[in-house]
Amino acid sequence: MSRELMLENIRKAQKEIEEKKEQVKRGAMRQHYHFMPQTGWLNDPNGLIYFRGKYHLFYQYNPYYGFWDYIHWGHAVSEDMVHWEFLPLALAPSESYDDYVRGGCFSGSAIEHEGKLFLIYTGAANHGNGNEQTQCIAYSEDGIHFEKYEGNPVLKAPKGVPSSQFRDPKVWKHEDTYYMVCGASRENKAQVLLYRSKDMFHWEYVNVLAESRGEWGFMWECPDFYQLGDKYVLTVSPMGAGEHTAIYFVGDFEYHTGKFIYHTVGEIDWGLDYYAPQSFLTADGRRVMIGWANEWEWMSSWKDWGPTYKEGWCGFYSIPREVRLMEDYTLQFIPIEELRMLRTGGEKKEEMVISPDGRELSAGDGIAFEMKMKVLLEQTDAESLELCLRCGNGKQLLCMFDFKHAEIIIDRNQADGWSKGSSRSAFKISGKKELDIHIFSDKSSVEIFTDQYQNNHSNNIFAQDMQNHIHICTHGGNALIKEFEAYGIKKIM
């Protein structure tokens, strides 16, 4: 009976999608090439996996309207991580442990086990004691149609961890054993807990993998853990850590103790709209990460869940990024090479001298484009370089590269008449010969990668089509730019 209830709830949701998707598709703020839902609300990416020759992307999803509520798992597949085909929903709330309007099938991950595709997710319900979160299993023979395990939930919050702060399982296999990390909070301090299993159904506690002593917030959401080179990487989205929304730790890990000792900490993205990234291995062995291009703490300041809500949808994902380990054990986050297939046209300049008078730049239609350049620092005497994107009708996204104060500031306060806030980060000047800048702009977002893809800013803006001009200038001197290139980007969504 419970399986029939989930199937019926999926049918109802699919009917809603079919009835609304064409109208939603005409929305003025729809992205051109970033992954987004056909209708309704999207948040965390889930269950990223390469399975039977295709990349599978699952996602937190409310198909009914453009704000967070009653969460399902959406599902799409791709052969190149760029062009996505929507499949029927994978999971819908249907059981006592996940059927709740302000809950549902929360975040999780996927793994292949005994030839089947397994999903492990957080079921969120309310039985009169607030939000109760447990870890649950669903599986599929064909990778499309899923059945929930009759023995769910397979894991409940341990002693000392509130049942409302135990979620987002990420599972992997090492040798003949399965391992899982979950985000948690104990005594108002963030933790990642480690479990193991021989069969995917019966789990035993191993250790606190890593924890915050207060310096990194009170809850770590969406933990991801994997080996990269000769080190291990833990990524989390901390709650209560101020401007930090997606951080990484690099260090050493021992399976026999279950303890992760980190020695390097960094920011995945300094932007106002990057959260809950999850990674997976590609067919050729690359570690690729996809993040949610939004952020919970920012949402409380929304007037009405944002401009796209009025169009019947909300939320999209960042472009996929390859994670690479540097010699100093910091990480790079590089846009995947497959994105190049979307380039159209193209303009290149070997060198440009930028003065305070400035000049106009062109890149595609000025809305959806890719742009790259390098600033030769040793031949630049300007105090700062100002790059204005999506300019027009008195509005702009201001990108300031301040060489005097070694700071990057992305200011969207004048971007669209609605968005607020600036993202900022420091960058190293001394001993550097150049500053590399790589930009991906879409209808409702701008992602800026700098400093060898280690200093990145993802910000959403909701600009009109007439805002399609690009202007660059300096302050206090000139700047020399080399290897400038720009392209339009095909519309595929």
Residues with a known catalytic role: 44
How many angstroms separate the CA atoms of 310 and 316, rounded?
A: 15
φ/ψ (deg, to 5) at 378: -70, -20
CB 43 within 8 A of CB 69: no
Other CB atoms within 10 Å distance of the CB of residue 409: 17
Pairing between strand 313-314 and 40-51? parallel
326 exposure class (CB count in 10 Å sphere: 0-12, 13-18, 19+)? middle
Q: In this structure, what token pair is assigned to residue 45?
A: 């990416």
Pairing between strand 469-475 and 331-335? unpaired
CB 278 within 8 A of CB 45: yes
